[in-house]
Structure 1
Amino acid sequence: MPRPFPPLEAVPLAEQHGQSFVRLVELMQRLRAPDGCAWDREQTLESLRRYVIEEAHEVVDAIDGGDKNELRSELGDLLFQVVFQAEVAREQGDFGPDDVIKAIIDKLVRRHPHLFADEAPADAPVSSADVLERWEKIKARERGNQGLLESVPRGMPALLRAQRVGEKVERVGFDWPDTAGSRAKVAEELGELDEAIAAGDPAAISEELGDTLFALVNLARHVHVDAEAALRATIVKFTTRFAHVEQRVRDQHGGWGEGDNAVSLAQMDVYWNEAKQKK
């Protein structure tokens, strides 16, 4: 027998303090109840993993697209995944949604002693760089003997993970002192990649290509560029330009064609250059 779930009343922005969060938890528990949704009841922490990743990527897409309504929707989807995981864990007797919130609040307060301690520390940070340095020091104390790089999630996209690894080691001084050193490393790795390609060694090519990509990410960090965002922007640009090529091929040739009737690369380059001019 269906049980209606009363809708939320709109709350003015100035009066929003997260008071509606409890309703999302209530809804999640209703979905997982014995008379709830069969699909929701079947889910596990493991089965939900893909949705956490998917929703996080959709949030990034919404940010890149600049659509605030879409971002609001996608943030809701991501928040639902957090609540979903927490509810599954609560049912298993591990932790619940309130434990999740308590954990992040405790962590943020602990890592901002210059704001929340009884007395401001003598080395209280004055810039964002100081804050990050102090954050890492506090984090290191909390983690004890854990390796510096063990806190970087292995499931991160590779470019993002590489940049986070570089940031971590930079904070303990294991880094090129300037951009020139990082740029020279890129040239060195490209030379080694060329040698591997010339030798025709697939394993060496793979290794040297990885080294080159890692060096490029480090260069991006030195010039204050987000490597992941830069590549995403380039993919969007390429996709947009190729869509123009594809449309021109359909309009002028009726399709890509095959064999001797295939659209030539030279002709596609003409359409590609048209796309570049469109901006």
Structure 2
Amino acid sequence: MTAHYFKNTLSITPIQLTNLPLANNSILLFDATKLDVSKFNLPDYFSPFELSVINRRKRAQAKQEYLATRILLKQLVKIAKPHYANTPLNAMSTQFDEASAKLQLYVSDEVINTCISHSHGLVGVALNLAKTEFGFDIEKISLKRPFEKLAKHFYHADEIALIAKPSNTQTQANTFFRIWTLKESLAKATSRPIAKLLSPNVFNELNMATLSASSNCVTVESNDKHTQFDVTVAHKKSTDWRCFLITDFIL
């Protein structure tokens, strides 16, 4: 019944930033730790509001993630909406809307719903042009985190049983983090707090919300280290969401 949620059916394809695909149903992934924020003239890329936000960020990684997500979202808009192709990036602005629990991008008189996720430097962005129920999540797969203890404390009994079933620690970790990204994606798609989705059975919740979900793992190489991440997307109508792992950041 739950086996298809653990099949790696989400397409993840390496691509250069200059060769971005059509923006519809595309999630862009990028290792933001590769960016040197000091080499960017930030007023060229950010609205005054966004500048105030990034300047308040203290951690270098937080600045890298903010820079990458905002630029990628704006590049997607230029592809999705050709009439904005010549719009300067600093004329677009992102802001979180508390009422809808969505990150929205403002360009001209239009408001575009978006979705972002980040984990340990890997960022992902997407436009929700149809404004349907949609959400995705990225999470680093870590064997160092006490995932068994966390699962017993937060997860549903059926989910704990799935995690405990394999004897291999790596497989247990993969199962734990797949369930986690499913819960986070569901929370974003339905604008529900993640705290309310930790203990319920996520597979039942997805079925009750009539949402589809697809997932995969992606390995990112940085500083001679290979880090694995789990990526899940939950969606209402479209079944052809796919990911593109950007291999450069040449604008």
Which TM-score applies when normalising by structure 1?
A: 0.22
Greater relative CO (CA pairs within 8 A, separation 6+): 2
Which TM-score applies when normalising by structure 2?
A: 0.24
Q: Could you say which structure has the larger radius of gyration?
A: 1
More strand by share: 2
More helix by share: 1
